[in-house]
Amino acid sequence: MRICSLLPAGTEILFALGLDRDIVGVSHECDYPPQAARKPHVVRTDIDQSRCSSEAIDEAVKAAVRDGESLYQVNEDALRTADPDLLVTQELCKVCAVETTQVNRLLGILPRQPQVVTLHAHTIADMLQDIRLIGKMTERPSQADALVAALTQRMERVAALVAGRPRPRVFCLEWLKPPMACGHWVPEQVAVAGGDEVLGRAGAPSCYVTWDEIAAAKPEVLILMPCGFPIERTRQELSVVTQQPAWRTIPAVRDRRVYLVDGPAYFNRPGPRLVDGIELLAGLLHPERCEGLMPCGAVEPLS
């Protein structure tokens, strides 16, 4: 089977199911596992997250949505060359990856019509169901069931380790300027890891908040996980948050429980590594029980 994945989460699922040799095209954002980045790119974007500030990126996204434009461009020549049997796309977010409607317009340029599998995870359960869906579409249902069972077992282990422990108040910052509270699966990740997300809404989209609202929520643990930003990229814009008047009034700041994490690796993409993110959170929230579960190099405390 010849497979093109137009989003990082889909690519991670495909690799986890052992389909790396079948992948003939990916998005420019598909960087895990490392060999995914060496696959032909059939999607790109004009927004350079390494150079633009978080505020500039937010403005560009709003302008594109307002004008009905896509943030992503599909390389039609590369897609024709890939000649896929299966296209993996998504319906979750216009900002995250190529939309299904855009993919449907592109089907006419292909020499033959591929099957299209659309992922739309809003929750952890949805992500597990997407794994099963891709397993079914690629004739790997047993591998998908085994992967889901392994991920579920790891989550159950974390839940057992933190059961009965005090649940700290947590705020996960999903964008720097303007600030955004997390949504979708992230509040669930916090809950399984033994915490209570104070502003994020499970299963709902991320939402804009103010620093006064963040301070009023009195989070005891503050986690910076901007969408698409690895730790070193978040570090470049720390002053955007630390210079806020309300910053030093936040309990997590006073108690030095502020952490930078790799957003795209463990929290932004609805793929198997969401469970790594749960283990990471458990290690931060309950180190006396779960510190050994944390992925190596996945966290940087803010001094």
Confidence check: pLDDT of 93 > 70: no
pLDDT in tens, 177-198: 999 999 999 999 999 999 999 9
Whether residue 294 has pLDDT greater than 80: yes
Tokens of 128: 């597990």
For residue 142, tell me if it sits in a domain.
no
Q: In terms of DSSP H, where are the helices of 193-271?
A: 211-217, 231-236, 238-242, 251-254, 263-266
- Residue 152 counted as domain residue: no
In a domain, 221, yes or no: yes
Closest CA to 224 of 152, 301, 147: 301
Residue 218 has pLDDT above 90, yes or no: yes
pTM: 0.94
Give the pLDDT of residue 210.
98
Q: Is the pLDDT of residue 253 over 80?
A: yes
Query: How far is Cα 160 from Cα 288, in angstroms, rounded to an integer?
Result: 14
Classify residue 112 as exposed, middle or buried by CB count within 10 Å of its CB (0-12, 13-18, 19+): exposed
The band of 109, judged by pLDDT with boundaries at 50, 70 and 90, is confident
Last residue of a domain, one of 89, 123, 157: 123
Q: What is the average pLDDT across 221-236?
A: 96
Farthest CA pair distance, the chain: 60
The residue among 55, 88, 123 that closes a domain is: 123
Expressed as residue numbers, the domain containing 205 is: 167-301
198 with 168: CB under 8 angstroms? no
Residue 259 in contact with residue 302, Cβ under 8 Å?
A: yes
Considering the domain architecture, whether residues 198 and 119 belong to the same structural domain is answered as no
The CATH number of whichever domain residue 255 belongs to comes to: 3.40.50.1980
Same domain, 107 and 173: no
- Whether 277 is in a domain gets the answer yes
H/E stretch holding 282 reads helix 274-285
- What tens digit of pLDDT does each residue of 51-81 get? 789 999 999 888 877 877 777 888 989 999 9
Q: Which amino acid is at 142?
A: S
Residues 179 and 115 in one domain: no
Indicate whether 211 belongs to any domain.
yes
Residues 187 and 286 in one domain: yes
- The reported pLDDT for the residue numbered 137 is 97
Cβ proximity of 262 and 5 under 8 Å: no
Could you list the beta-strand ranges (E) of the chain. Answer: 3-5, 23-27, 41-45, 72-74, 86-90, 115-119, 169-175, 180-181, 183-184, 196-197, 201-202, 207-208, 221-224, 258-261, 299-301
CB count, 10 Å around CB of 285?
24
95 within domain boundaries: yes
pLDDT higher than 70, residue 96: no
Residue for token pair 């001094």? 303
